Amino acid sequence: MTAKDNSTRNIVLILMIVVAAAFRLLAFKYKDLSNFNPVGAIALFGGAYFISKWKGYLAVLLTLFTTDIIINYLYTSKLSLWYAGAEITYLSFALMVLTGSLLIKKVNVLNVALASIAAVLVHWLLTDLPWLYGTLYPHTLAGYGMSLVNAIPFECNMIYGNLVFGLLLFGGFELAKTRYTFLRTKKQLAL
């Protein structure tokens, strides 16, 4: 794989991430789709496919940051670059990129499904810490339990989003690799 091929591969990966990220904006119009979005699948995808892992983190976190700004503006009509609890949210997505790089050494349905579930668990356990939401929940173990229970519908939507968008992203890229050799890594070309 030449440097030009690697650059082209990165451009394709980034374009796929950007197109998938556009679906995140649907949640503003359709409230029932809350958390049914591609962000978890994008994080896994970035972790699995970028050869330079830092590019996976950068692409995923920049995509999240950009769509957060747009979504926050749509809800509040104010330009907001950060929000309470954002650092934990971004940490959870960085851990999802790591999950993608560790669990998806070989792309197949089982590995992507297991990584999708692991990503939701990471998100659920980190982002539902009660002290992130002021006085919404008591800052105790019982409050954490209440927060986790109340988040179940949102996390179920995230599982569905990870699976659907994971199928589209991973399946689409794997299909493209069968047709375009410049999308394959050196290791895959040697096989």
Which residue segments constitute the domains of the chain, with CATH numbers given?
A: 3-182 (1.10.1760)
Whole-model pTM: value is 0.90
* Helix ranges (DSSP H) in 3-151: 3-22, 26-29, 39-49, 53-76, 86-103, 109-127, 141-150
| CB-based contacts of 141, cutoff 8 Å, min separation 6 | none
What averages of pLDDT result for each successive group of 10 residues across the chain (191 residues)?
A: 74 95 83 85 96 93 94 88 86 95 87 94 89 78 90 92 96 94 74 53
Q: Are 8 and 182 in contact (CB under 8 A)?
A: yes
